[in-house]
A = this chain, B = another copy of it.
Amino acid sequence: MTIDIITDEQRKMARYAKAISHPIRVYILSLLGKQSCCYSGDLSEDLPIAKSTLSQHLKELKDAGLIQGETKAPKIKYCVNKENWAEAQELFKGFLKI
């Protein structure tokens, strides 16, 4: 009940887990796992949500560091952020003892 015994690693774990804690975001990341990149417009066609909502989910993933967007005007190409994804992999691997 004194000091904070939760480690930075555990905080990071929680952060990444939070980023993937929504079905839409799981879907997006799964897709990026298959094809490594995608356009927001393609997602918008497939997913039953408003564009603005999709935009927010992408922002969530971006803020968590799991994806990155590259402007290919007028579109934006989203890719996995490999560095952070690798970190997340390691964290989850350790956590799940996979």
Q: Do the beta carbons of B10 and A14 come within 8 Å of each other?
A: no
Report if A17 contacts B (CB, 8 A). yes
Chain A, interface size category, equals 35 or more
Chain B residue nearest to A97 (CB atoms) is: B33
A interface SS class: helix
Chain B residue nearest to A4 (CB atoms) is: B48
Report if A1 contacts B (CB, 8 A). yes
Q: Do the beta carbons of A48 and B92 come within 8 Å of each other?
A: no
Chain B min CB distance to A49 (Å): 9
Interface residues of A (CB under 8 A from B): 1-6, 10-11, 13-14, 17-18, 20-27, 29-30, 32-34, 44-48, 80, 85, 88-89, 92-93, 95-98
